[in-house]
Structure formats: structure tokens, C-alpha cells
Amino acid sequence: MDLPVSLVENYQRDRHEKSPEGFCETYQICLPYRGLGVWHVGNDDVIADANQVLFVRGGESYRMSGPMAGGYAELIITPTIELLTEIVGTGESRLFDHPLFRNRCRLASALLQSFRTQFLHWADTASEGFEAEELVIALLRAATPQGAETRRCTVTTARLIKRTKYYLEEHLADQIRLADIGRAVGASPAYLTATFRRVEGLSLHQYLNQLRLARALAELPHTDDLTALALDTGFSSHSHFTAAFRRAFGCTPSQFRLATRSRVRPVGAAVRPHVLA
């Protein structure tokens, strides 16, 4: 969608490789929704998965590597500078050093993940008019809450978190034990759980559960077999999947599927996000 307020693109990548160096002239907000890739920018290697929102600063060079098996996809929003500065609440001269863009990423809420999926499927048949502009602005506001907490960590800790996220994505459909993750990333369970929660603001189990639900969100509009989807995304049963989905998004998987297939306007803030247990 090339709208007066923003350019909106659905970017997909299938091959596992490191891209040539690129350069982004504009500020962008990216919402990954499938798979895992790595955004190499400055001195940072930023994990891009469905639990994250990425904040791209204009005027920086970058590379992308990945994805893992299964591909990678993200929604890229390039707002006008006037819209972006109004939403984040700072002037253009201070945008480069705004905490969201300085820290490059933040955790995506359940509300945002649901809104993102609904918007993607609504946009397939939407006209590029007033309604689309209004929804893009709402999506940007959901991605950039005022006073959002951002976290920085040491290089060593960042590498540990990166290895952990790779493991979680690779074993998304498996029954994972904490000891298995610890052995794979080279950290004791006690240290890993404390460090991951401090950096990400969620426990390992919560983060994995949110990844699984995000994968299910992306696949729901295209699947008829909810039991198979539940098992493919790591839930032990249809009932386990339904209970977790309802807690997170305030509706059942079948209700969400019906809403996206009917191409109704995304509900946005009407979805009730809950802490994922």
C-alpha cells in the first residue's frame, strides 16, 4: 500500500543467506510475523522474530542474514516523518536518538500480534483509502506505546539471548526441557532463566508460548485442521491450544479464523491482550 501517510510492504525471504550491504534512507517500523532472521546494523545483531518490533533508523547501512528453515516474513511500515514524529512524541532532530530507535527493537504485545495478522489479511483486498490510512496509524500506535520500556545488555549476554532465540525457533514444535536449552546455549538453567527474563521481560516459557501463538496466528486463516495446527506449533492438544489462544487474544482460534477469512476491518484495540502463561 502506497498511502499518503505511509508506505506499507509485505516482505518475504526464503533463502538462507546474508544479503549484500544495504542502506536505509528512511525511518521504518518492521513487524516480523513468520520465522527468524538477523538484522546486522551498526555493532548490533538484532534477532527478528514474531515476538519483536524492529525500529530502523534512517541513514544507517545494514545486512540481513537467515532465515532459518521455513522462511522469514515481515510487515514493513515507512511512515512520513511528520506522522512518525507525532506518534513517538519527539522532533525530527531527536528521532535518531529516541530510545525505541536507539535500542532497535522491543517486545510485541499480544494485541499487536493479533492486529498485525488481521491487518495483513484485510489488506489483501482493501482499497487504498481513508480506512487504510486510519488502520496504519492505529497499527503504528500499537507498535510504539508511550513510555515503552527498552533494555540494553552486554555483548556476552546479547550472544546468549541470540543463541537461545535460535534454539526456541528451531524447536518450536518440540516438547522442550529447560535443561536441553541450557546445554545447547552453554548456560545453567538458573542463570539462563534469570538473564532471559531480565533482558526480554518474559520468562523463557512465556516467550516460547508467544512464538507458538504468533506462528498459529499467521497460519490460522489458511488452515482447516485446528488440531494439526496445534500440534505443528508445539501445543499438546487442540484444547491446550484453544485455552492458550483465548487467554492471549480473548477469542477462540476458530473465531479468529472466521474474522480474518471474512475480511472484516481489523478489530485492533478491541482485542484483549493477556499475559501469556
Residues 177 and 266 in one domain: yes
Task: Kindly state whether residues 110 and 191 are assigned to the same domain.
Answer: no
How confident is the model over 57-116, as pLDDT tens digits? 999 999 988 777 778 999 999 999 999 999 999 999 999 999 999 999 999 999 899 999
Q: What pLDDT, on the 0 to 100 scale, is given for residue 16?
A: 63
Cβ atoms of 132 and 176 closer than 8 Å: no
Q: What is the pLDDT of residue 126?
A: 63
> Could you give the dihedral angle defined by the CA atoms of residues 221, 223, 227 and 229, in that order, rounded to the nearest 10 degrees?
-80
Residue 1 lies in a domain: no
Question: Any bridge partners for residue 44, and if so which?
Answer: 41
Q: Are residues 57 and 84 in the same domain?
A: yes
Joined grid coordinates for residue 122: 484485510
Indicate whether 150 belongs to any domain. Answer: no
Measure Cα distances from 112 to 95, 106, 153 in Å.
22, 12, 25
Are 161 and 246 found together in one domain?
yes
Domain CATH for 75: 2.60.120.810
Give residue 73's Cα distance to chain centre: 10
User: Is 233 found in the same domain as 129?
Assistant: no
Whether 161 and 90 share a structural domain = no
Among the three residues 115, 143, 171, which one is the final residue of a domain in this structure? Answer: 143
Grid cell locating 191: 542463570
Of the residues 118, 143, 168, the one at which a domain ends: 143
Torsion of CA 125, 1, 113, 215, to 10 degrees: 70
CB within 8 A of 130, min separation 6: which ones? none
Q: 3-state class of 20 per DSSP?
A: coil
Is 48 a member of any domain? yes
275: in domain: no
User: Are residue 103 and residue 40 in the same domain, yes or no?
Assistant: yes
Whether residue 168 sits in one domain with residue 243: yes
**pLDDT tens per residue across all 277 residues of the chain:** 999 999 999 999 886 666 667 888 999 999 999 999 999 998 899 999 999 999 999 999 999 887 777 789 999 999 999 999 999 999 999 999 999 999 999 999 998 999 999 998 888 766 557 888 989 999 999 999 865 555 678 889 999 999 999 999 999 999 999 999 999 999 999 999 999 999 998 999 999 999 999 999 999 988 999 999 999 999 999 999 999 999 999 999 999 998 888 766 676 544 443 333 3
**Domain with 111 in it:** 6-143
| Final residue before a domain boundary, out of 112, 143, 174 | 143
Q: In whole angstroms, give the CA distance from residue 214 to residue 172.
A: 11
Question: Could you tell me if 255 and 163 lie in one domain?
Answer: yes
Domain with residue 245: its CATH number is 1.10.10.60
Same domain, 13 and 139: yes
Q: Rg of the chain over CA atoms, in angstroms? A: 18
Q: How many domains does the chain have?
A: 2
Assigned domain for 277 exists: no
Cα–Cα distance, 169 to 242 (Å, whole number): 21
Answer whether 245's CB lies under 8 Å from 103's CB.
no
Counts of helices then strands in the chain (DSSP H, E) = 11, 10
* Residue 131 and residue 10 in one domain: yes
Q: Which residues contact 151 (CB under 8 A, 6 or more apart)?
A: 103, 198, 199, 200, 201
Same domain, 45 and 173: no
Residue 271 is predicted with a pLDDT of: 41
- β-pairing, 44-48 vs 6-13, is unpaired
Residue 269 has what pLDDT? 43
| C-alpha triplet 268, 7, 18: angle, nearest 5° | 100
